[in-house]
Amino acid sequence: MSEEDFDHRDDYERLFDKKYLRWFHLNGKPALLEIVSIKQEELTVRGGKKQKSPVIVFKQIQGAIESVKPLVMIATNMESLAAFLGRKTSLWIGKQFVVYQDKTPLNRKIVPCIRIREPQRQQPAKDAAK
């Protein structure tokens, strides 16, 4: 079975009850989100180690995320947000971003992940009278 034929709705990771947004909640489609709050939470990562990580709570503006849950942020995604929202996180509240499913290397394998990009800006309508 090739990766293109793989049905991510049938992935084993879905069997675990997760508190946070995961790649499979996107169902392969991007979603436009608005930041409601940003906090730091202590998480237990693989191997049982505790670490503090930024977590973004959001509301969905467009898209079809099956389960709206907070998003644990990794450095790559925080840097993506900072690139178009600036470094001051207190100014991010109410701002929008797009999440989408991508792939990344992990332990010599390519695995699905969530990535962030800036929303596309609507071009103003040209004046029909000109």
Give the pLDDT confidence of 76-97 residue by residue, as tens digits: 999 999 999 999 999 999 999 9
Across 18-32, 77-91, 112-126, least confident range: 112-126
Output the pTM of the full model.
Answer: 0.81
In a domain, 124, yes or no: no
pLDDT of residue 33: 97
Distance CA 49, CA 2 (A): 34
pLDDT of residue 18: 77
pLDDT of residue 80: 97
User: What does the pLDDT average to over 16-39?
Assistant: 90
Distance CA 48, CA 111 (A): 21
* Residue 28 pLDDT greater than 50, yes or no: yes
In a domain, 31, yes or no: yes
In a domain, 125, yes or no: no
Distance CA 22, CA 82 (A): 21
* Residue 10 pLDDT greater than 80, yes or no: no
Q: Specify the 3-state DSSP secondary structure of 130.
A: coil
pLDDT band at 2 (very low <50, low <70, confident <90, very high): very low
pLDDT of residue 48: 86
In a domain, 123, yes or no: no
In a domain, 128, yes or no: no
By residue range, what is the domain housing residue 18?
3-117
Decide which of 124 and 29 is more confident.
29
Long-range contacts of 23-29 (CB under 8 A, 24+ apart): 23/101, 23/112, 23/113, 23/114, 24/112, 25/65, 25/66, 25/67, 25/69, 26/63, 26/65, 26/99, 26/100, 26/101, 26/114, 27/64, 27/65, 27/66, 28/101, 29/63, 29/64, 29/100, 29/101
Count of structural domains, the chain: 1
In a domain, 126, yes or no: no
Looking up residue 55, the CATH number of its domain turns out to be: 2.40.50
Distance CA 91, CA 36 (A): 11
* Residue 129 pLDDT greater than 80, yes or no: no
